[in-house]
Structure 1
Amino acid sequence: MITVGVLCEGQTEENMVKEFLGPELLAYGINLVPTILLTKTAAGGPSSRGGVSKWSKIEKDLRNLLASTPHWAAVTTLLDYYGLPQGSPGMADRPMTMPPRQRVEHVEKHMAERIRDARFIPYLVLHETETWVFAAAEQLGEMLEEHALAGELKRQADEKGGPEGVNDRPDTAPSKRLLRLCPEYNKTQDGPEAVAHLGLDALRQACPHFDSWIGKLVTLSMMR
């Protein structure tokens, strides 16, 4: 069994780890430990967690996680590519004429170069964790008894060449589309539950960039 720390953007991502990724990856001998990004520390007051405002905050939390214990086999991220701070490594010179996956891999590569720790495995979701819910359209439709919703989510994903192609403009990002189609959708609960019903293997098949990340974690476990 290896232990991997996961820096999560917010509660939705933490729930994805606890309810979906964690149980699935235990079968591969991987124990995922989620931590929500610390966004603000008030003097004498409570800390705030969730959301991404500056790269410096992400970097600080990553370095703190890596330093917190020598027993981490790896530290990874579960952050949305959509809305990532413009000051993040690699964002300024992204190859915008290239497909989204190549753009996000460019940013991940520069994140790794900035942190410079062999245990760091950067991962940015194309384009949000709600992308995974598009892959789990049928499961969500059954849960909410909204079968027309499932069909429309599948149509939109197919139109973009797959769930990870659903883009990152403010009016067309996966989360915006979901809430427009289904105002009662609860992202912190419904999304993780639908994706858990879909299962790891099916999500890996639907989302190649996600599949690559999981493959890196599984390979790390097999090497121990």
Structure 2
Amino acid sequence: MAAPGPSRSGEAELMRQVHVLVEGATEERLVGQVFQPELSRRGVWLTPVALKTRRAVGRPHDKGGVSKWSKIEHDIRALLRNSAVDTVTTMLDLYGLPSDTPGLADAPAGDAYARALHVEDAMTRAVADRRFLSFLVLHETEAWVLAAASELSELVASPRLADVLQAHVTAAGGPELVNDGPDTAPSKRILRAYPGYRKVVDGPDAVELLGLDALRAACPHLDAWLKRLESGPGGNTAP
């Protein structure tokens, strides 16, 4: 009989360790269900870590996950103190960031990708650690659910839902470009089209059904982040 293979924890020890700072349960499930299975095959072990300084219970989402950049930075630096971690990254919504987040006040208007990159670069410079890789979701993780409109429609048994959500994506030019207004953000569009939408369950399940390759093809900003995670510590190209 063949000897048993390495345990899951043993496999993790042999991989590059990446801690992903996320806002809550939805993002934790996305990391575990969608990103971890694929990246683990490429030598990257993702561990989601929820912000310790999230909004008070009942606070509206459009007020942001936390009130100050200093609280996010505190959690980033706490994760960086673990020398066993190769990379610390963020998976935070651009929509709802604290107003004092580095680069947010002078971010370019108009081009969503340029805006996200500008703020990510400013965050990277503020933390100033080669093991830190900033990433902001355009504009919130429900954009990825819009990419999985057909899968969500099947999941909740609402045939018309796919057409409604795909129309939003087509009009914007892509799921990552659906805007971040308080009434027009991806999550608000999904809830208007399907009031029974369960963010923590339905969203990750639909994206998992879509598959990571298809999601990356539809969301170039997400794809660029994952490529950097796959390339080496801190998102830098390995020698």
TM-score of the superposed pair, with normalisation by structure 2: 0.86
Q: Hey, which bits of structure 1, 4+ residues long, moved more than 6 A?
A: none
Amino acid at match of 1:64: A
Report the Cα distance in structure 1 between the residues aligned to 2:101 and 2:68, rounded to whole angstroms: 8
Amino acid at match of 2:120: E
Q: Could you tell me which residue of structure 2 aligns to residue 61 of structure 1? A: 75
Structure 1, residues 16-57: CA drift from partner, whole Å, max 9, x if none?
1111111121111111011100116xxxxxxxxx93221111
Find the partner of 2:92 among 37, 60, 79: 79
Amino acid at match of 1:196: E
Report the Cα distance in structure 2 between the residues aligned to 1:112 and 1:105, rounded to whole angstroms: 10
SS in 2 for 1:38: coil
SS in 2 for 1:185: coil
Report the Cα distance in structure 2 between the residues aligned to 1:148 and 1:202, rounded to whole angstroms: 21
Matched, 1:184 2:184: no
Report the Cα distance in structure 2 between the residues aligned to 1:100 and 1:207, rounded to whole angstroms: 12
Report the Cα distance in structure 2 between the residues aligned to 1:53 and 1:199, rounded to whole angstroms: 34
Q: Could you tell me which residue of structure 1 aligns to residue 155 of structure 2? A: 143
Contact 2:145–2:203 under 8 Å retained in 1: yes
Matched, 1:219 2:234: no
Structure 1, residues 113-148: CA drift from partner, whole Å, max 9, x if none?
000000111000000000000000111011111121
Deviation at 1:71, TM superposition (A): 1.5
Structure 1, residues 173-219: CA drift from partner, whole Å, max 9, x if none?
01111111111100001100110111111011000100100110111
Amino acid at match of 1:32: L
Q: CA RMSD in A?
A: 1.6
Report the Cα distance in structure 2 between the residues aligned to 1:77 and 1:87, rounded to whole angstroms: 17
Report the Cα distance in structure 1 between the residues aligned to 2:68 and 2:36, rounded to whole angstroms: 27
Report the Cα distance in structure 1 between the residues aligned to 2:158 and 2:194, rounded to whole angstroms: 9
Amino acid at match of 2:105: A
Report the Cα distance in structure 1 between the residues aligned to 2:215 and 2:70, rounded to whole angstroms: 31
Amino acid at match of 2:30: M
Matched, 1:112 2:112: no
Q: Could you tell me which residue of structure 2 aligns to residue 89 of structure 1? A: 102
Contact 2:19–2:88 under 8 Å retained in 1: yes
Structure with higher Rg: it is 2
Report the Cα distance in structure 2 between the residues aligned to 1:138 and 1:53, rounded to whole angstroms: 35
Q: Could you tell me which residue of structure 1 aligns to residue 185 of structure 2? A: 173
Report the Cα distance in structure 1 between the residues aligned to 2:146 and 2:121, rounded to whole angstroms: 26
Query: Please, which runs of 5 or more residues in structure 1 have no aligned partner?
Result: 41-49
Q: Could you tell me which residue of structure 2 aligns to residue 17 of structure 1? A: 31
Report the Cα distance in structure 1 between the residues aligned to 2:89 and 2:215, rounded to whole angstroms: 19
Matched, 1:198 2:210: yes
Amino acid at match of 2:167: R
Q: Could you tell me which residue of structure 1 aligns to residue 164 of structure 2? A: 152
Q: Could you tell me which residue of structure 1 aligns to residue 52 of structure 2? A: 38
Aligned length: 214
